[in-house]
Structure 1
Amino acid sequence: MGSHTEIGYTFDGSFTLFMDNNSAISVAKNPTHHSKMKHVDLRLHWLRDMVESGYISPVRLSTHDMPADLLTKALPRVKVQQFRGLM
C-alpha cells in the first residue's frame, strides 16, 4: 500500500490522522469536486481514497493540543513536558 510495505513492514489497521483544520477534514471526507482545490487534485484524490477505504481516519484535534508541534516549533517548557509523554 505504501513505503512501509516496500521495506517489509506490514500493518493491517488504520491510521488516525490528527488535524487542526476543519476545512482539510471536510475536503478529505467529501468526495465532491472543489474548484478552488485544483492545485492539489492528485494528492486529494489519493487522500479521499484512503479515507473512503478506512485506511486513514481524519480526526479533529485542537491546535493547542497538537503533539507534532514538539518536533516543529519552539514550545514553552509546559508544552514540551505535556507532549513528551505522548510521543
Structure 2
Amino acid sequence: MAETGPFRSPASAVQISARLLCWSLAAAMITAAVDASLGPRAGWWGVAWLLPWWLFGATALAWTVLRAREKTDPPTPPGCARSDWEQAA
C-alpha cells in the first residue's frame, strides 16, 4: 500500500492511471461528439479535439505496463489479510 501523508494518496499508481484512463476516454468521446454534431470551425479545435485521444493512448499504455508489473509482484504472505477488491483483481 502507498505511504500516507499530506501529499500522498492511498490509491496505487495502477488505480490512478486507471482513473485517468477512464476520464481521458470520456473527454475524448465528448470532444468527438461535439466535433460530429456541431462541427466547430475554430482554429484551435483541431488540437483540442486530438489532445484527449493522445492522452487516452498514453494512459492506456501506462496502465497496461503498471498493471502487468503489479501482476508480476510476488503474492502476499498467507498470514496477510487481503480485501475482497484486491482478491477480485
TM superposition score normalised by structure 2: 0.25
Name whichever structure is richer in helix by fraction. Answer: 2
Q: Which structure: larger Rg?
A: 2
Name whichever structure is richer in strand by fraction. Answer: 1
TM superposition score normalised by structure 1: 0.25
Which is bigger in relative contact order (C-alpha 8 A, separation at least 6)? 1
